[in-house]
Structure 1
Amino acid sequence: MQGLRSGFCGGVLTGCLLVVLLCQSVMAADASVETSKSSPEIPQRVVSMNLCLDQLAIMLAKPGQLKAITHFTQDPAMSMLSEEAMAYPSHTGSAEEIFSMDADLVLTGTYTNRATIDMLEHLNRRVVSIPPAFSLDDIRKNILQVGEVLGQSVKAEKLVSEFDQQFAKIRESAKHKSGESAKRFSAASYGANLYMQGDTTLEREMVEAAGFEHYGTQRKLGYGGRVSLEELVIDPPDVLLLGNYQKDGMHAYAHLEHPVLKKVIPSSQRSGTHPRHWACGTPFVLEAVKQLVQLRKKLEAQHKDKQP
């Protein structure tokens, strides 16, 4: 009887142990599946389909991780990293082209062709869409998000820290000092087809960081809108932010060459800040802010000299 009891208990214990091990195995498998869902493996073949994300990926990706970018990023008129971009294959953005590259991560903007994104997702490609930056804080968020999906969070955090340090120095240099003109100058871009950006934009933050008032905000344009040449001449900003429109020779920019506008806002009050500095929400926007600070100080000095 003792032997039978011992054998029975041993069998029960063995069975219980098997059940425990089985449960642990199932739990471990579930945890593994959950982890894989929440923390995908670091991608090794990344393709970017957006000019702005191209540049962030070039700055953050480890060697060999970024496999292709848009051809726009290789254009010096559009990209701050055109030289670096020449080291990467480029694509034209078709789903077939991207699929053939066997990417394990595709970076897209929120305005990337929806049909292309749907096709890539249908073909089981991992697609991450990142919105454009409408503020300096959005730039920080996008850097960190790109860093996270690339598995380069430490590098991204360092880039944000450097961005903040540089921005703090610019803000300090932009402060109005004792003895300087108290006049607040206004500035705004005036682009193709009479379009002007408003207050819900990255431009507004950059202009205000440089010590200007933002003209588009004064006009309550929101994200932006058309301002007729007549309206601008009657109530002009102190500074127009212009790009390389002269080289384009496009009718959409003809208003900028109008003799009345040139008289109201002469070349000395037109900033040649290149649009590639702020076409994208990248750390390079600070270069444009620096140039605007220098222009504002020059205008203030001229204004002070004219005072009786």
Structure 2
Amino acid sequence: MLAVLIWTLSCSASLAVGPRIVSMNVCSDQLLLTLADPDQILGLSRFSRDDWQSWAAGEARRYPILSGGAEDVLLLKPDIVVASLFDKRTTRDLLKAKGLHLVEFTVPRTLDEVKDQTRAMGDVVEHPERATAEIARLDAAIALARATATGRHYRVLPLARRGFVSGDDSLVNSLLSEAGLVNAAGELGFSAGGFASLEAIVKLRPDFILVSEAGDRAEDDGRAFLLHPALARFYPPGKRLVVPERLTVCGGVMLAEALDRLTAELQRVTQ
């Protein structure tokens, strides 16, 4: 009887761990880190510890890093591999040919798509209740941002290095629209996004520009564009909304924090 009880408990413990998973993409890394149990994670992408790209870079340092090729994934023998459709196709095809189970995610363009992917990852790791909680957190952040921006109809231009503007077909646009803000990129004729000239940006005169960092240091030409004297004159700190890029580069649970940061920035510049 004792032997049967021990065997039952050991089986229950092994079942509780759930599928053993590796992630090949920095965006799937972050979903996995949020929703899975630590024992489920066998390895993460080579960019998982990059503070610029990964909101969860600190936590990712607890786990092995993959090279990006198929060999180390095969050695780990995971139950599931999560990847992006933008990851190298030959690698994904090889892993499938070797019999591994791949779950492939697209790049979300809207917050509704982000919620769908969060639910999907919750199902992959067998913790749907965690996905539900993260979606509720995102909905709460959306509601708070909307309440802050209600009735203001601000025109905001998302502006990145070298003058790149995120257009209507982008995750940043979805963040702005869900918060009740207007993406001014449409007035420049951008849908997917593109590079705008300094003259066009100054002439557009949005209420605010959305940038990924504050400060007056230009470490390279791309950053120098954002610090050009013309932009500094028309868009001083009081006309800049600062949301770190690591909060918006991926579609995932970090977007709740991105919206909270956007809300705080709106409160700062409108006081």
TM, length-normalised to structure 1: 0.75
- The answer to whether 1:87 aligns with 2:62 is yes
> AA paired with 1:258?
H
- The answer to whether 1:206 aligns with 2:175 is yes
CA gap of 1:55–1:196, structure 2 versus 1, over 3 A, is same
* 1:164 equivalent among 116, 135, 139: 139
Deviations 1:12-46 (A, max 9, x none): xxxxxxxxxxxxxxxxxxxxxxxxxxxxxx96321
Contact 1:210 1:296 in 2 (8 A): no
Aligned to 1:44: 19
SS in 1 for 2:86: coil
SS in 1 for 2:251: coil
The Cα RMSD (Å) is 2.3
CA–CA distance in 2 between the matches of 1:163 and 1:290?
9
- The answer to whether 1:57 aligns with 2:28 is no
- The answer to whether 1:293 aligns with 2:263 is yes
CA gap of 1:70–1:247, structure 2 versus 1, over 3 A, is farther
CA gap of 1:164–1:235, structure 2 versus 1, over 3 A, is closer
Q: Post-superposition shift, 1:229?
A: 1.4
SS in 2 for 1:72: coil
CA gap of 1:65–1:247, structure 2 versus 1, over 3 A, is farther
CA–CA distance in 1 between the matches of 2:233 and 2:225?
13
Contact 1:211 1:293 in 2 (8 A): no
CA–CA distance in 2 between the matches of 1:151 and 1:277?
25
SS in 1 for 2:42: strand
CA–CA distance in 1 between the matches of 2:236 and 2:128?
46
Contact 1:47 1:68 in 2 (8 A): yes
Contact 2:46 2:68 in 1 (8 A): no
Q: Which has the higher contact order (CA 8 A, sep 6+)?
A: 2
CA–CA distance in 2 between the matches of 1:109 and 1:253?
29
Contact 2:137 2:256 in 1 (8 A): no
Matches within 5 A, 1:145-294: 145-176=120-151, 184-244=153-213, 249-294=219-264
Q: Post-superposition shift, 1:260?
A: 1.6
Aligned pairs, how many?
A: 254
CA–CA distance in 2 between the matches of 1:299 and 1:124?
54
CA–CA distance in 2 between the matches of 1:117 and 1:166?
35
CA gap of 1:136–1:89, structure 2 versus 1, over 3 A, is same
- The answer to whether 1:69 aligns with 2:39 is no
TM, length-normalised to structure 2: 0.84
Contact 2:148 2:266 in 1 (8 A): no
Contact 2:24 2:45 in 1 (8 A): yes
**Segments ≥4 residues shifted beyond 6 Å:** 245-248
> AA paired with 1:129?
E
Matches within 5 A, 1:8-157: 44-157=19-132
Deviations 1:139-162 (A, max 9, x none): 110001111122222332232233
CA gap of 1:247–1:82, structure 2 versus 1, over 3 A, is farther
Gaps of 5+ in 2: 1-16
